[in-house]
């Protein structure tokens, strides 16, 4: 991962959560020329998106815990400590949609909803190299 994306406060990853992964892969592949490859992470098939040879994001099927949530793009912001960020966000009036949790081999993340209702994820990468 580009070292610039590992700085606290930088947008570092985009992710599509969808009901039809194959249709999304076909659509975005044709639209933007993205290449995609599947990996398994914590028992979930995750498709890495590459553009110009660099990983720029991912996509996956909406999980059962997301029932009722429409397909959507999510954005991750790099933070030095996701647990501290989650606590600070709550103290500033945010709601934790997904409390801090680990993604094996990737890092630790949480999803917050700001006081105005906008949603994004914060992430601390486990192995920045």
Average pLDDT over residues 107-113: 96
pLDDT tens digits along 22-72:
999 999 999 999 999 999 988 899 999 999 989 999 999 998 888 888 999
pLDDT, mean of residues 87-94: 98
Domain of residue 87, residue span: 79-129
**In the predicted model, what is the mean pLDDT of the chain?**
94
Query: Quick one: pLDDT at residue 112?
Result: 97
Least confident interval from 62-66, 116-120, 122-126: 62-66
Assess contact for 120 and 112: CB atoms under 8 A.
Answer: yes
CATH number at residue 40: 3.10.180.10
Does position 129 have pLDDT exceeding 70, yes or no? no
Q: Does residue 72 form part of some domain? A: no
pLDDT digits (tens, 9 = 90+) for 11-25: 999 999 999 999 999
pLDDT score at 128: 63
Domain membership flag for residue 5: no
Tell me: do 52 and 19 sit in the same domain.
Answer: yes
Residues 14 and 63 in one domain: yes
Chain centroid offset of residue 63 CA: 13
Q: Is the pTM of this model over 0.85?
A: yes
Tell me what pLDDT residue 65 has.
Answer: 85
Q: What angle do CA 115, 14, 28 make, to 5 degrees?
A: 130
Domain assignment of residue 46, yes or no: yes
Look at strands 72-78 and 95-103 and give their pairing.
Answer: unpaired
What domain count does the chain have?
A: 2
Domain co-membership, 83 together with 37: no
- Beta-strand relationship, 119-125 and 54-61: unpaired
In a domain, 93, yes or no: yes
Q: State both tokens at 113.
A: 């909803």
| CA–CA distance, 38 with 126 (Å, rounded to integer) | 20
55, 88: one domain:
no
Give the contacts of 120 (CB within 8 A, at least 6 positions apart). 74, 75, 76, 77, 111, 112, 114
- Of 44, 67, 90, which one is at a domain's C-terminal end? 67
- Assess whether 83 and 59 both reside in one domain: no
Instruction: Give the angle subtended at the CA of 15 by the CAs of 9 and 21, to the nearest 5°.
Output: 175
Least confident of 3-7, 50-54, 95-99: 3-7
94 and 119, same domain (yes or no): yes
The residue from 20, 46, 67 where one domain ends is 67
């Amino acid at each position: 991962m580009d070292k610039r994306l590992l700085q606290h406060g930088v947008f570092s990853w985009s992710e599509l959560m969808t009901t039809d992964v194959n249709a999304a892969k076909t659509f975005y592949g044709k639209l933007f020329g993205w290449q995609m490859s599947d990996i398994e992470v914590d028992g979930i098939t995750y498709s890495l998106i590459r553009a110009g040879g660099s990983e720029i994001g991912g996509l996956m099927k909406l999980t059962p815990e997301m029932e009722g949530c429409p397909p959507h793009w999510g954005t991750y912001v790099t933070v030095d400590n996701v647990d501290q960020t989650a606590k600070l966000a709550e103290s500033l009036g945010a709601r934790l949609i997904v409390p801090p949790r680990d993604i094996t081999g990737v890092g630790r993340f949480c999803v917050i909803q700001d006081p105005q209702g906008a949603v994004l994820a914060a992430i601390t990468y486990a192995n920045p190299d």
